[in-house]
């Protein structure tokens, strides 16, 4: 092919302009406008997100506080139930103990009468004392303790006075002079006061 022919062929070719088209220009300007609007909207979005986050944190704290309160109430209720159960068990045998007290009273009265008690054989007395000791041990095992002795300071919470004994000695005043019947407690609770006579200074 000759140079002339090459020149003729190039005449038919259309060369695209290097400048961008109008459509391209509009698209670029549109992107710029959108970016500017996004930048302007960003502070409001951040503010909205912060408010939502703050609200979520407050709700979380509210739920957490409520849960902790409910948990504490549950633990306290369970502890109260356990204490009530233990308290019930402590005094569950009180009725049986009270039924045994007359038996203890009979032993006390028999052994208090020294003349009658010592008139029987030593072996028999030893056997009865062994039974008495066993009964005392059973009562103590269940929290029952007897009280009331001559010389104790009179206490209206523990003693029931059924008489007075006059005395010239002021040091004996308001003390127990005679125990008619022992008192008993169960785990520190008085279930029967002691029946006693009390010294009173003779005026």
Distance between CA atoms of 153 and 177, rounded to whole angstroms?
Answer: 10
CA nearest 187: which of 84, 87, 85? 87
> Angle at CA 125, nearest 5°, toward 124 and 129?
120
Does the global pTM surpass 0.85?
no
Per-residue pLDDT of the chain (203 residues; tens, 9 = 90+): 444 444 454 444 444 445 544 444 444 444 444 455 555 568 788 788 888 888 888 888 888 888 888 888 889 988 888 888 888 878 888 999 999 999 999 999 999 888 888 888 999 999 999 999 999 999 999 999 999 999 999 999 999 999 999 999 999 999 999 999 999 999 999 999 999 999 999 87
Distance between CA atoms of 55 and 57, rounded to whole angstroms?
Answer: 5
Q: Pairing between strand 194-201 and 176-181?
A: antiparallel
Looking at the DSSP bridge assignments, the partners of residue 184 are 146, 192
The pLDDT value given to residue 147: 96
Per the structure block, which two tokens stand in for 134?
Answer: 């066993």
The pLDDT value given to residue 1: 47
**Alpha-carbon dihedral 139, 142, 148, 153, rounded to 10 degrees:** 170
Could you tell me which CATH number the domain at 91-201 has? Answer: 2.30.22.10
The pLDDT value given to residue 53: 85
The pLDDT value given to residue 164: 94
Residue 121 backbone zone (phi > 0: left; psi -120 to 50: alpha; other: beta): beta
CA nearest 169: which of 193, 147, 199, 198? 199
CA nearest 99: which of 57, 139, 52? 139
93's CB contacts (< 8 A; 6+ apart) are: 142, 186
Question: Domain segments of the chain: what residues?
Answer: 23-90, 91-201
The pLDDT value given to residue 3: 47
Per the structure block, which two tokens stand in for 27?
Answer: 């698209």
């Amino acid at each position: 092919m000759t140079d002339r022919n090459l020149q003729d062929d190039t005449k038919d070719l259309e060369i695209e302009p290097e400048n961008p088209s109008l459509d391209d220009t509009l698209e670029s300007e549109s992107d710029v406008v959108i970016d500017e609007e996004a930048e302007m909207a960003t502070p409001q979005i951040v503010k909205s997100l912060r408010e939502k986050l703050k609200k979520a944190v407050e709700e979380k704290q509210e739920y957490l506080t409520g849960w902790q309160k409910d948990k504490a109430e549950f633990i306290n209720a369970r502890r109260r139930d356990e204490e009530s159960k233990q308290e019930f068990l402590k005094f569950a045998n009180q009725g049986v103990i009270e039924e045994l007290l007359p038996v203890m009273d009979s032993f006390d009265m028999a052994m208090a009468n020294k003349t009658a008690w010592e008139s029987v054989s030593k072996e028999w007395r030893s056997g009865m004392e062994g039974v008495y000791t066993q009964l005392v041990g059973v009562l103590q095992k269940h929290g029952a303790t007897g009280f009331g002795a001559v010389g104790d300071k009179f206490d209206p919470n523990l003693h029931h006075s059924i008489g007075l004994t006059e005395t010239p000695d002021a040091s004996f005043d308001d003390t127990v002079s005679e125990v008619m019947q022992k008192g008993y407690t169960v785990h520190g609770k008085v279930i029967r006061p002691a029946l006693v006579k009390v010294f009173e200074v003779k005026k």
